Structure formats: structure tokens, C-alpha cells
A = this chain, B = another copy of it.
């Protein structure tokens, strides 16, 4: 079923959330759910849900609701959960180690192949069975292994140069944790994680709440 073309990036950004909720429903042995019920759980309108899920064809049936397992699988397919991406982490500081220990990446199709750092105290250690290699081995590793995604967890000032190097070596996906919108003159996909942006939005909402007391 090649329905992806019709789906906007705004809908795509909501899909992982549906995927999470559907996984929870499966765990609870719930096999079907109405858009109304899903709406109550997720806190978004039933009409938004119907509109989003209609993009992928007929999973919902009037009076029956959605088949949870079918919908879960199809959203997984669309998101590429079965594509098995090979990933590496560059920078084994706290953030890099946190990502290496994240247990739900593997089940979502992201397989960690190597971790790199320059710190001699870290190099040679293992996280979840995966050895931390020296940065000097990075180029050779990328050249001789399939690496789809590099997770960049190095300090801010090193990020642009490192990202450039990794992209030139042929890595097509970059997950950036430095507080910058990484841009590269290559044909790569970049997803930036901006933790301080999220914290500032929390701060804003909190200010508003305290002022309206």
C-alpha cells in the first residue's frame, strides 16, 4: 500500500504519538477502539483523529471503530519501524549514554552499532554490550559499515564540523542534540532536538499560570 505521498509532515509528526497509544492499548488487550474513545485518551478531537487516520485509508469502520493491531502495524510501516536503521552515537557523555540506554529505540527499528568518544576514560568501556570506540576509528567504521543515522551528542562548538564530516562520509540521517538548527549543503535528513526550547515553553506556561492566580 503506497499511501505515503498523500500524508503531510504535520500528520507524520503526530504518528509516533498514535503509535505509542496504540501500543499501550495492545498491552491492555484492547483490540478495537472508536475515534471518540481514542480522542478521550489522547486529548485531541475525534475529528482530528479521523482526519489524520483517513490519510492511510479505511482502518476505521462506522460503528466498529479502529482495529488496534492493524492500525498499529500500518502506522509502524509508514514510520519505517521495519526498515531497521543502523545508528551510531557520537559523544558518550551523559546525553550519549542516556540515548545508548534508551530501551525503546531498538523496538522501533533503530539498532545501535557503535559509540564514539575521544575521552580515554570512556574508550573501551561498553554500554549495553556496545563498545565505545575512539573517534579516530569513526571514518573507517562508517566506510566499512552500514550507518543510516548518526546521533550527535558532542559539545556545541564541535557539532557543525562533525556533522559535515559524517555527512560527507555518506551518513544520510543526523539527529542533533546541540542547541542549533544544523544546516548542511548535502542531501541529508536532519532532526534537531531542542531541549531548552521545550523548557522555555514550560516556563512561559508557568509564568502565565502564576500571573493569572
Contact = CB atoms under 8 A, between A and B. Distances in A.
Query: Which among A12, A183, A193, A199 has the greatest number of chain B C-beta atoms within 10 A?
Result: A199
Nearest to A174: B202
A58 to B, nearest CB: 22
A119 interface: no
Contact of A203 (B110, B200, B205): B110
B15 A200 contact: yes
Contacts of A191: 198-199, 201-202, 205
A interface bracket (residues with beta carbon within 8 Å of B): 35 or more
A210 interface: yes
Interface stretch (A28-36, A47-55, A66-74, A90-98): A90-98
A20 interface: yes
A95 to B, nearest CB: 4
Nearest to A148: B206
Contacts of A199: 105, 108, 110, 149, 175, 191
Given A189-B206, A195-B193, A206-B189, A200 B19 contact: yes
B181 A202 contact: no
Interface string A174-204: 0100011101000101010111111111111
Given A79-B203, A105-B199, 17 more contacts: A12-B204, A15-B200, A16-B196, A16-B201, A19-B200, A20-B180, A20-B197, A43-B181, A80-B206, A83-B210, A85-B206, A94-B101, A102-B196, A104-B196, A109-B203, A173-B206, A191-B202
Interface of A: 4, 12-13, 15-17, 19-20, 42-43, 78-81, 83, 85, 93-95, 97-99, 101-102, 104-105, 108-110, 148-149, 172-173, 175, 179-181, 183, 187, 189, 191, 193-210
9 contacts: A15-B200, A20-B197, A80-B206, A99-B195, A104-B179, A149-B203, A149-B206, A191-B198, A191-B202
